[in-house]
Structure 1
Amino acid sequence: MKQEHVVPAPTPRLAFRPMEVDDLDDMAAILGDPDVMRYYPRPKTRDEARGWIDWNQRLYRQEGHGLWVVTLRSTGEFVGDCGLTPQEVEGVTDVEVGYHVRADLQGHGYATEAATACRDHARDVLGVRRLIAIIHPDNVPSQRVAEKSGLAYERDATYRGTQSVRIYAAAL
């Protein structure tokens, strides 16, 4: 069920665009940052960051969405990524809203602003009926972002067979 790839509408401070190979330096920096990736098994290598870009480009083609590069509208400066990806949790596939914001730009509401725009895009453009966020139990800042974007704690779950996670969800 491939859809035309359309990015979310800009917000007052942020703009979205498809991830490109030219974003490798920025994506490798954010995905390799131990602070940004502290709730992942480990930071990603540059090759893994390239794989992340490839994965999102494949999602754009196959699903009509993925994680997008987020930039400041005022300057075009790279903020991070945010978007919508299919994720399987305990045998059920849902659309997840995910987000990464540069460590030096965290705490300014960018993740919430981007996640809320992606939630609205999922509902209004893609027709998604249920949205989830898969969050490490200790990642309180990400849990707050999910809550501020309208998702509520649903349950604890096992992700990818081993990871204990919290599922936040919303009916759209």
Structure 2
Amino acid sequence: MATRLPYPLTLTGDGLVLRDWRPDDLDDLVALLDEPDIARWTPMPSPFDQEAGLAYLRRAHQGRISGQRIQLAVTEDGERPLGEVLLFGLDAGLKEAELGYLVGAQHRRRGLASGSLSLLSTYARSTLKLGRLLLRIDPANAASIAVARRCGYRLTGEPPILQVGPYGPSSLDTWELPGDRTETRLERLKNVAARRYGRRT
């Protein structure tokens, strides 16, 4: 049976309120995502206009109510969105998921990305009981790498993953948040094989 992620959801801590996206967030969403740095490092459409924003909010809502992903607006007071943090690609069998984050250009260098990632990572570990939390980051994205390191994530030795965005293809490195149990190299290779080729009996 597939695991459903909780909806609705609000996470608070360190001066942040992470909440679900709302229809009236459209203008703020477009302002956040219609900028070159976002388009460079993510597969977001560029330019990101009102039509793209409406489609994005529809997908976010559908993913939330279906329990397929956690996709939260980053705010300081529950109101104006300053960025986004998300959890997706949940594998209940492997007890792992991928996380992501972004912050609008005007709101960077305030610890919002690291605070949001830490908050969601803690929730994923303590409440969702996920043992392996992953990030996929372009090795040239120094700002995102700094956030990952600040939150305790470490670069793994897994092969890069291809991502195609508005500025062309890029190779993403895998970062992992160490857990209480140290996974052996053999176990990690088995998990990589399971994701690529499915479980073998």
**Could you say which TM-score interval applies, normalised by the shorter chain?**
0.7 to 0.9
State the shift of 1:81 in Å. 0.9
Residue number among 61, 65, 70 corresponding to 1:66 in the alignment: 70
5 Å-filtered alignment, 1:74-153, equals: 76-86=79-89, 94-153=96-155
Map Cα deviations across residues 25-57 of structure 1 (whole Å, 9 max, x no partner): 111111111233332356333322222222221
Query: Residue 133 of structure 2 aligns to a residue in which SS?
Result: strand
Query: Residue 35 of structure 2 aligns to a residue in which SS?
Result: coil
Q: Could you say which residue in structure 2 is the equivalent of 1:5?
A: 7
Task: Tell me if structure 2 keeps the 8 A contact 1:2–1:61.
Answer: no
Counterpart code for 2:103 = V
Task: Tell me if structure 1 keeps the 8 A contact 2:96–2:130.
Answer: no
Q: Could you say which residue in structure 2 is the equivalent of 1:48?
A: 52
Query: Residue 78 of structure 1 aligns to a residue in which SS?
Result: coil
State the shift of 1:168 in Å. 0.8
Relative distance call for 1:22 and 1:81 in structure 2 (3 A) is: same
* 1:166 equivalenced with 2:166 (yes/no): no
Relative distance call for 1:87 and 1:49 in structure 2 (3 A) is: farther
What runs of 5+ residues in structure 2 fail to find an aligned partner? Answer: 180-201
Relative distance call for 1:6 and 1:20 in structure 2 (3 A) is: closer
Counterpart code for 2:145 = Q
Map Cα deviations across residues 70-114 of structure 1 (whole Å, 9 max, x no partner): 1113x83321111212279xxx99522111111011011110000
Q: Could you say which residue in structure 1 is the equivalent of 2:195?
A: none
TM-score (norm 2): 0.72
Query: Residue 128 of structure 1 aligns to a residue in which SS?
Result: coil
Task: Tell me if structure 1 keeps the 8 A contact 2:152–2:178.
Answer: no
Residue number among 37, 40, 49 corresponding to 1:38 in the alignment: 40
Task: Tell me if structure 2 keeps the 8 A contact 1:86–1:93.
Answer: no
TM-score (norm 1): 0.83
Relative distance call for 1:164 and 1:70 in structure 2 (3 A) is: same
Counterpart code for 1:55 = R
Task: Tell me if structure 1 keeps the 8 A contact 2:84–2:103.
Answer: yes
When you count strand as a share of all residues, which structure comes out higher? Answer: 1
RMSD: 2.6
Residue number among 34, 54, 57 corresponding to 2:61 in the alignment: 57
Q: Which structure has the greater CA radius of gyration?
A: 2
CA distance in 2, matches of 1:171, 1:63: 26
CA distance in 1, matches of 2:67, 2:20: 13
